[in-house]
Amino acid sequence: MSSTASVGIPREVKRDERRVALTPDAARELTRHGLKVWVERGAGKEAGLADEEFAAAGAVLVDAAAAWSANVVVKVKEPQPEEYRFLREDLVLFTYLHLAGYPAVAQALMAAKVTAIAYETVQMGDGSLPLLSPMSEIAGRLAAQVGASLLEKPHGGPGILIGGCTGVQPARVVVLGAGTVGWSAARIAAGMDAEVFLLDRSSARLRQLEAERRGRMVSLMSSQTTIERLAPTADLLIGAVLTPGGRAPTLVDEQLVQRMTPGSVIVDVAIDQGGCIATSRETVHTDPVRTVHGVGHYAVGNMPGAVPRTATQALVSVTLPYIQAIAGSGLRQAVTGKPELLGGVNTADGSVCHPTVARALGVEQRHPMACLG
């Protein structure tokens, strides 16, 4: 790819999504490396980033069609139906995709033969997910914060202060999964003096976190029996499990939700992968809570979109080196220098290239290098 390659930054159109895929500082870095940066007008407004800042950084302000015409299009969330018309065979798309949870998006990408790289499946040799971790941390922190608010009576809860007070029992918070989301949620809840039970299937992970455990936090090996015992006792139940590229496993069935105390709250952070609570359905920031069997379900699919300024800065801080590599030297060369990118390739040449995504969608997988020709 030549030094005149272009990077397009469309405005996000998913409902209540306020993040943007690039900051003016990042745009300046890309233009310094000889790349053209085309930013759709108004793309950064909701994140507190004005068009004038992007223009001053060397970006060109354009309309949606021009932003999508770039060699590499960088977004925050998966393409929406109104954006499918912009998909094309020679496009490299770099964004959060979660195709296991959004099979219609996968079909659109395959039909258009888009080379689509998912932030959430870029995976290092040690198993870490560098482009997912910042948003997972934010979502976990928000899960505890939102859950505490929903326990208050004016927000439909039973009127429980999450940390209790002197002589009064605090709320019980059960967190399913001790990854970045779960640990972040557990830390914040424990910091608010809640009684926290953190469950995970990995004894090594729980042992790793033991030194940092604080407050009224208990770590437990997860099993169906443990979940069935603890979930009905939770004032706040947080679903925080992750299968990179795949659908989240259902850990809490409808019968278990029925046993929870009326007024209790579920925050299903795994909803963008289908959810880990059987009764969860994706909601939006402007209408975030559904009540099922007397239990409030918060299942917003883009939780970090509630804090777009923080989330945008956190996201771009980790994606910028990859954007520069992909746009500057082309994807095949970028994969050579950053082999973790290969795991990020979800679709190319009309095929699904990630094994977990392929299994979740029930389609055949092609090796990503074969897809890239």
Please, which pLDDT band fits residue 64 given cuts at 50, 70 and 90? very high
Contact 171, 177 (CB under 8 A): no
135, with CB counted inside 10 A (0-12, 13-18, 19+), is buried
Q: Is the pLDDT of residue 4 over 80?
A: no
Please, which pLDDT band fits residue 172 given cuts at 50, 70 and 90? very high
Please, which pLDDT band fits residue 40 given cuts at 50, 70 and 90? very high
Of 98, 200, 297, 354, which residue is the catalytic one?
Answer: 98
How far apart (Å, rounded) are the C-alpha atoms in residues 126 and 128?
Answer: 6
The tokens describing 84, both together, are 């499918």
Please, which pLDDT band fits residue 3 given cuts at 50, 70 and 90? very low
Active-site residue, 272 included: yes
Q: What is the DSSP string of 218-230?
A: EEEE--HHHHHHH
Of 268, 272, 297, 354, which residue is the catalytic one?
Answer: 272
Tens digits of per-residue pLDDT, 173-212? 999 999 999 999 999 999 999 999 999 999 999 999 988 8
Q: Is the pLDDT of residue 314 over 90?
A: yes
Q: Which residue(s) pair with 168 in the sheet? A: 165
Tens digits of per-residue pLDDT, 329-359? 999 999 999 999 999 999 999 999 999 999 9
Q: In this structure, what DSSP letter does residue 282 have?
A: -
The whole-model pTM stands at 0.90
Taking Cα atoms as reference points, which of 61, 116, 120 lies closest to residue 87?
A: 116
Active-site residue, 268 included: no
Strands (E), 50-106: 60-62, 72-74, 92-95
